[in-house]
C-alpha cells in the first residue's frame, strides 16, 4: 500500500458487515497488523517502514503514569501541569470554532488535520531510542510522538492527536520526532564525539557506546551504525559553529517513508522546510510571526534560538526528494 493509506472507518464498516453476512469472520477472530502502521486519531495508517507502537511488546508507552524503566519509583514533577503525572496534554490555543468541535466530539481526524501543519525534527543527544525514552519519560517528564533508532526502527509513543511536549511554542500544531544521534558540538566536538564513534578499518566512523551504556535496545542483531557520510560535517546554526556525524542510511530510509506519510495524512503540512530567498535551508530561529505563518517540516532550531538540532549533518534535500519520490512512485 502507498504511504499513509488508512483503514477507512466507512469502508471498514461496510466490509465488516459484508464479511459477517457471508460468514467470513466471527466474533473474536484475530486481526493481524502488517507492522508498518502508525496511529492517528485511533486509525491505522501504513508507512512502509517497520514501526513499533506503544501497544507492542518492547514499545515505549508515553501514556504510562509511572517510570517506564523503574515502575516502582515516583515520577518526577511534570514541567507543564504539576498536578498531573501525564507526559502530554490536549492541544491548546485552538481557534474558537475548532475548540468547540473538539470539546463536543473529541478529536476526529478531520479536526486534527485542521490543526496540525508542522513537523519538528530533533536529535536526541542520547545515542539510542531506549535511552531517549528513559530521559524523556522517567527523568524530564516530557514526550515526543516518534523515536527513530540507529537501525531505522521507528517507535510511536502516543497517538498523534495528543499534544506531546517536545518543542515549546510549536507543540500546539506539530508532530515531533527524536532521531538517535549524539548531536552536534562546538569547540569540544572531537573529544565528545570520540566517545561515541570509532573509526573502522576502512576509515569510516562507526557508532559505538561508552562503557556506561549497558543496554542499547537496538532491535537489529549485531547492527553496525555507520553514518551516511564519512566526514565530520560542519555548519553554523543560530550563530553557533558546530560539528556532527551524519545519521545512518537506515534512519534516512525510515524517515523518508514517515515524511511521505505525514504529507498524505496532514494536507496542510507542506513537504518542505524553512528557506531563504535563494532556496537554501534557513539556519536560524523564526520570529514569532514567521513561525505562525509557517506550515511544513522544521528543525528544533527554527523554534528555539538555543537549539541546533537536527544539526548540520541533516540531509534536508535528500529526505524531501525521497519523500516526493515515495508519493509519486510508491512501488
- The DSSP-derived string for 277-321 is TTSPBP-SPPPHHHHHH--EEEEHHHH-TT--TT-TT--HHHHHH
Confidence of residue 79 (pLDDT cuts 50, 70, 90): low
Total residues found in the chain within this entry: 331
* CA gap 238, 225 in Å, rounded: 29
> Which tens digits make up the pLDDT trace of 49-77?
999 999 999 999 999 988 899 888 777 66
- Interior angle at CA 128, CA 127 and CA 134, nearest 5: 110
- In this prediction, residue 327 carries a pLDDT of 94
- In this prediction, residue 315 carries a pLDDT of 98
Query: Do residues 251 and 146 make contact, with C-beta atoms less than 8 angstroms apart?
Result: no
> Which tens digits make up the pLDDT trace of 199-233?
988 999 999 999 989 999 999 999 999 999 999 99
Query: Do residues 118 and 16 make contact, with C-beta atoms less than 8 angstroms apart?
Result: no
Radius of gyration, alpha carbons of the chain: 20
Around Cβ 131, how many Cβ atoms within 10 Å?
19
Three-class SS state of 185: strand
* CA gap 269, 69 in Å, rounded: 35
267: enclosing H helix or E strand: none
* CA gap 95, 277 in Å, rounded: 31
The phi, psi pair for 278, rounded to 5°, reads -85, 10
Delineate the domains of the chain, giving CATH numbers in brackets: 9-186+236-328 (3.40.80.10)
Residue 23 predicted with pLDDT over 70: no
- Which residue matches cell numbers 507542506? 270
- In this prediction, residue 11 carries a pLDDT of 55
Query: Do residues 39 and 156 make contact, with C-beta atoms less than 8 angstroms apart?
Result: yes
Q: Whole-prediction pTM value? A: 0.91
The mean pLDDT value of the chain amounts to 90
**Which segments of the chain does DSSP mark as H helices, in order?**
9-22, 96-105, 109-115, 129-133, 189-193, 249-265, 288-293, 300-303, 316-328
Which grid cell is 250? 537506515
Give the distance between the most distant pair of CA atoms in the chain.
69
Q: Does 85 or 315 have the greater pLDDT score? A: 315
Amino acid at each position: 500500500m502507498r504511504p499513509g493509506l488508512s483503514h477507512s472507518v466507512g469502508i471498514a464498516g461496510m466490509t465488516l458487515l459484508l464479511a459477517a453476512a457471508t460468514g467470513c469472520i466471527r466474533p473474536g477472530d484475530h486481526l493481524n497488523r502488517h507492522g508498518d502502521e502508525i496511529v492517528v486519531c485511533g486509525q491505522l495508517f501504513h508507512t512502509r517502514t517497520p514501526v513499533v507502537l506503544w501497544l507492542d511488546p518492547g514499545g515505549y508507552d508515553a501514556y504510562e503514569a509511572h517510570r517506564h524503566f523503574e515502575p516502582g519509583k515516583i515520577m518526577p514533577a511534570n514541567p507543564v501541569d504539576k498536578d498531573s503525572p501525564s507526559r502530554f496534554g490536549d492541544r491548546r490555543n485552538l481557534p474558537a470554532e475548532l475548540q468547540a468541535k473538539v470539546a463536543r466530539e473529541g478529536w476526529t481526524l478531520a479536526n486534527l488535520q485542521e490543526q496540525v501543519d508542522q513537523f519538528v525534527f530533533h536529535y536526541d543527544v542520547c545515542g539510542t531510542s531506549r535511552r531517549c525514552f528513559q530521559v524523556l519519560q522517567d527523568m524530564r517528564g516530557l514526550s515526543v510522538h516518534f523515536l527513530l533508532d540507529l537501525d531505522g526502527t521507528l517507535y510511536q509513543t502516543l497517538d498523534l492527536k495528543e499534544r506531546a511536549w517536545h518543542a515549546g511554542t510549536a507543540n500546539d500544531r506539530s508532530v515531533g520526532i527524536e532521531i538517535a544521534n549524539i548531536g552536534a558540538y562546538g569547540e569540544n566536538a572531537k573529544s565528545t564525539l570520540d566517545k561515541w564513534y570509532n573509526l573502522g578499518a576502512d576509515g569510516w566512523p562507526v557508532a559505538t557506546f561508552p562503557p556506561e551504556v549497558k543496554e542499547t535496545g537496538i532491535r537489529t542483531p549485531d547492527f553496525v551504525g555507520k553514518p551516511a557520510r564519512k566526514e565530520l560535517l560542519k555548519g553554523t546554526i543560530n550563530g553557533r559553529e558546530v560539528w556532527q556525524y551524519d545519521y545512518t542510511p537506515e534512519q534516512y530510509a525510515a524517515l523518508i517513508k514517515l515524511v511521505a506519510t505525514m504529507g498524505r495524512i496532514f494536507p496542510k503540512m507542506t513537504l518542505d522546510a524553512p528557506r531563504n530567498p535563494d532556496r537554501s535551508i534557513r539556519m536560524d530561529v523564526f520570529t514569532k510571526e514567521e513561525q505562525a505563518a509557517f506550515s511544513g517540516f522544521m528543525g528544533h532550531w527554527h523554534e528555539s534560538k538555543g537549539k541546533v538540532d537536527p544539526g548540520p549533518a541533516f540531509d534536508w534535500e535528500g529526505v524531501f526528494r525521497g519523500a516526493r519520490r515515495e508519493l509519486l512512485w510508491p512501488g
